[in-house]
Structure 1
């Protein structure tokens, strides 16, 4: 795949999808597909699909037999919890037609679209196995629900990325307005063998990730 798509997507979506984010997603998804990790691809919180089309293009490039599953309320953010201090219910709302227009713009077929709140769709509408998941729910409850349902289906060797995981100690530049995702991740993985690692870039990237079944050695 030509890197030109990364530059074009970053230019079209400056606020939410810069080069750092796309390059890290490229590494994570392409590596699981090339290595033959079992399962389909999941994005929880797809908004207007500017990251979704990139996921679809990578699938077509490396493993066209895999399917992409997108989840979004198309009602904006839910009610914030006590752990969420940025934005309010209904913010970031897009319409399903916006998502479809993005795929049409890039000449890509529509993936599997699951409209509704995560606690309504994820329990019953996830693929049986997941090789890669990108969780971009912004709020504590959204990320916690996503982890509870996606992690058990993530195959060994599969990668899960959580957007807005801000660990300012390990990455001082990370965007720090969404406080809920890191708390949800740290609580969820407290009793799991994997612990969340931090990805960094040249800007304000706030990405946490785990690779299922891989545990860092002491001091790593």
Structure 2
């Protein structure tokens, strides 16, 4: 491995379980255990239940529950806001596990790696404590890593060389219309919206919600969270405009995602 590649960890404020002394103690002890025993990354990932923290496990389990709701439906998975690929590659792994021979069922992700850029008055005040600021959650410095991980996963498919996951780069207000023009047959069984802000969320709904099949799962990572009022406003305004009333749900045992519903 090249020594000049960045070794940037995810910023502490951008994930769960980093804000208290207990959180810090957990990571210090686990890191110390791995280092003291000379464990390799392969060892840690192969035995990941021994090392993963419960807060991160609940998010994975929530995604699994959502996946099961969409498993028997026609259509692909679409994620808006890939960030570092955790959810995106979870969908990939689950689809490759449960639909391994269905090569036409894909996972499409949309991101521009620039973080939060398209603020609207409806997004409300900035809040740097939650990363709510221009450039918050930017991943341009690890773009190569994300693309490499997607390629690694696609090469590890049951049928290597047939890509399961595709990342579409660019501003969704521009990339989505272009993508849909090139792929008019797209139908969606699970739509995951994690753009945080009003403008990209509204654009995604305008273009993609009509393509979600009846019974499809629509997921919002920040719906109803006070710092992310723009995402909620975009959803409420769009559904009011089309006369649709989502029956909102959430998992009481997981903080992510904050809301989802089944399209009827």
TM-score under structure 2 length normalisation: 0.65
* Contact 1:185 1:196 (8 Å CA) reproduced: no
What is the Cα deviation at residue 100 of structure 1?
2.3
1:39 aligns with 2:89: no
Residues 203, 56 of structure 1: CA spacing in aligned structure 2 closer, same or farther, 3 A cutoff? closer
Matches within 5 A, 1:93-104: 93-95=138-140, 96-103=143-150
What is the Cα deviation at residue 145 of structure 1?
0.8
* Contact 2:249 2:261 (8 Å CA) reproduced: no
* Contact 1:48 1:102 (8 Å CA) reproduced: no
User: Which stretch shifts more, 117-126 or 139-148?
Assistant: 117-126
* Contact 1:198 1:208 (8 Å CA) reproduced: yes
Matches within 5 A, 1:1-220: 11=52, 18-33=56-71, 35=72, 37-64=73-100, 65=102, 66-84=105-123, 85=125, 86=127, 87-95=132-140, 96-103=143-150, 108=156, 111-126=165-180, 128-166=186-224, 175-190=225-240, 191-202=242-253, 204-205=255-256, 207-213=258-264
C-alpha distance in 1 between matches for 2:247 and 2:199: 18
Greater Rg, structure 1 or structure 2? 2
What is the Cα deviation at residue 200 of structure 1?
3.1
* Contact 2:62 2:256 (8 Å CA) reproduced: no
Deviation by residue 1:76-113 (Cα, 9 ceiling, x = unmatched):
11231112234222221113213124446767566211
- Structure with greater strand share of residues: 1
Residues 134, 206 of structure 1: CA spacing in aligned structure 2 closer, same or farther, 3 A cutoff? closer
- Structure with greater helix share of residues: 2
* Contact 2:219 2:257 (8 Å CA) reproduced: no
* Contact 1:42 1:70 (8 Å CA) reproduced: yes
What is the Cα deviation at residue 201 of structure 1?
3.0
Deviation by residue 1:173-220 (Cα, 9 ceiling, x = unmatched):
xx532111111111111233341503033354452222122xxxxxxx
Give the 3-state SS of the residue equivalent to 1:91 in structure 2.
coil
TM-score under structure 1 length normalisation: 0.77
C-alpha distance in 1 between matches for 2:145 and 2:212: 29
